[in-house]
Amino acid sequence: METPPANDNDDWQAQEEANAAAGPSTEQVFEGEPVPTPSEMVTARSVAVSVVLGATLSIVAMKLSLTSGYLPHLTIPAGLMGFFLPRWWVRLLNGCGVAQLPFTRQENALIQTFVVACSNIAYTGGFGSYILAMSRSSAENGGVEDGARNVEEPYIGRLVAFLFLASFASTFAVMPFRNSLIIRHHLTFPTGTATAHLINSMHTPHGAKQASKQVSVMFKTFGGTLAWSLWQWFFTGGEGCGLQSFPIFGLAAAQNGFFFDCSMTNIGVGLFSPYNITISMLVGSIISFGVLLPYVTTKAGIWYPHGNEGAYGMFIGITMVLADGLFHLLCILHRTLRAMHKRRHSQQAAQPFMSLGVEDRPPARSFDDRRRAQVFLRDRVFDPAAVAGYIALSVASIVLIPHLYPQLRPIHVAVAYLTAPAFAFCNAYGTGITDVSVAPTYGRIAMLAFGWWVGLENGGLVAGLAAGVILMSAVSTASDLMQVFRTGYHTLTSPHAVLISQIVGTAFGCVINPLIFWMLYGVYNGGDGAPDASYAKMYRGMTILALSQQGLPRHGMLLCKISFMMVLANNVLREVSSRRRWRVGRYLPCTIAVAVAFFLPPEIPIGMFMGSIVMYLWRRLDPDDARARSPAMAAGLICGDGVGTLLRSMLLVSRTRPPMCIMFLSSSVNTRLDAFLATIPTSS
């Protein structure tokens, strides 16, 4: 079921209420099955499968991190494999005469949570970028003499301790916001919703006709998308080859990034996302890559050194994300204070206080919403305990991290942990709307800021890289946690069990990933054909180059101030329009969606926009069928493309080369190419 983001107008909400009332109910299908307790959700088979899958996908993720620096979403593959392995386990033991309890969707959700929390450490830990950039090998290969204080070898004991300190704090930092983001604002979190729909569909009891149709649609879409993804690989046998750069707007626009990349994930996310989000992201891409970047490029050598034009879009986008996120954070705090004031005057202080405006939320719109909210709110996590946990971990980090990386003083670590909750909330909110995490950008900003603060001569390179890991890990973990909470919300999985699975998976990842990295790093130092760690060299070179610069590029601060004020004005107008039911509110862009587009290549918003066009036409032709089958189709598209990307990445790691090349050229270039090929003699 598609759900709008926070502060949508009442007309949109009324339309969604009507759609929910008419659409099929997932929870009525599962109504006859009792919801297991948190202790019943954690079983020996789920733990065993989680450990095996966590270690396996961590190896894949680590190799990808050290080679391409890119990690595809492992959420969908984890959910799929987390379903089939336990089912095989149950069938095998039942065949041996050993009785087994039924495999539940709650177990499936917890396995997926554990595996994703474990494997994501390979990326959020910065092994292929920040950590390896500190090493002596990257310094020597980079050819830059920057002092011994800017080199730190990645010893395994230090890595394990550092990851334990950096990876857990943000889990507690965003816990007080879970009810607001999941229940009141009802953010979509498309990947989490798609995973939950996948899990629910696979566990649907036999005999539910509508659910069977959805499962059929999902698996047909999954199979077709997987085949399409693998078929594309055959035509990528060279630089610039493949269908992923289809010039749908012409070759001139394609040179600025405006092309269709044939990604079914983007189309699937577009099917989930409200029209306002996809249109806003497309507008952001046009402003950033169609207007701002071409103009700024003409000022190269005047406003900034050649090659640094991307800094303008990065800093403007970060400003917009912070402004939008902080605006909603202030709104949540305002609702909390207002709820406290009302409760005090109505003499209801004896009732349990549900913070962050959850009591303010709109009424549940369907049986599914009521059932899911009941289970999600039943197992409450004590918010003061979460705050105390974050403070305790922050204090421990302030004391211990300077011993692990002496270039960072306690004041630096304290500032990082003071700012991390705001950044974590902003990223979690943005991910809930757009399904895009900008955690790497926060890490790069922290890397530059703390590097400038410490100074290159005092070890600012290592200090900046270590601070980047702290911020990136905190921000990424926050959005990942809300994604799995969203999955747990849709699968009636206890928030207590989800939190425990997240914590245990993170702890296992903090141990297994350094071990995997240490083995691969030993091969890398031995020079036995190991990955060249180009991302690490790039990060080290980028940090050294940045530390030699002074402040933002010319007019950068002015553009950031203008962007900040425009975002605040737009959000205030959206809030007022929503409360006073002004029609203009529905036409105002979603500023965080516009901001996120500054960090993304234009082909991603283009793909999402095409998904929205498909959804719009589908609803016009057959609204009932669109409501019933669009979530299943979107889940199939995201699942199939995610597994296909993983398989293609494994082919890349194994150095298997595609046999063919498809490339798009203009007619004039093609004519010259034909003339050149005609001059080459053919072999007899």
pLDDT of residue 458: 86
Mean pLDDT by 10 residues, the chain (684 residues): 37 40 64 79 87 85 68 70 80 77 87 92 86 76 59 88 89 84 82 84 61 71 86 79 79 80 82 84 88 82 70 79 77 67 58 41 65 83 83 93 92 93 85 79 84 86 90 89 91 90 93 87 49 63 66 76 89 84 81 81 86 90 82 78 73 76 79 80 62
pLDDT of residue 160: 93
Q: What is the DSSP letter of 363?
A: P
> Where do the DSSP E strands lie in 74-207?
none
CA proximity to 484, closest of 501, 506, 508, 470: 501
H/E element, 151: none
pLDDT of residue 401: 93
pLDDT of residue 7: 41
Cα–Cα distance measured from residue 117 to residue 451, given in angstroms and rounded to the nearest whole number: 29
CA proximity to 324, closest of 579, 562, 590: 590
Cβ contact 485:498 at 8 Å? yes
Where helices occur in 203-274 by DSSP H, the ranges are 209-233, 251-254, 264-272
Q: What are the extents of the domains in the chain?
A: 210-268+622-678
Number of neighbours of residue 140 by Cβ within 10 angstroms: 10
Cα–Cα distance measured from residue 80 to residue 644, given in angstroms and rounded to the nearest whole number: 13
- Span 525-558, pLDDT tens digits: 444 434 455 567 767 776 776 676 555 677 878 8
Cβ contact 339:360 at 8 Å? yes
- Span 275-328, pLDDT tens digits: 888 888 899 889 888 888 888 888 777 777 766 666 777 778 878 877 887 787
- Nearest 5 degrees, angle CA 194-CA 196-CA 197? 65
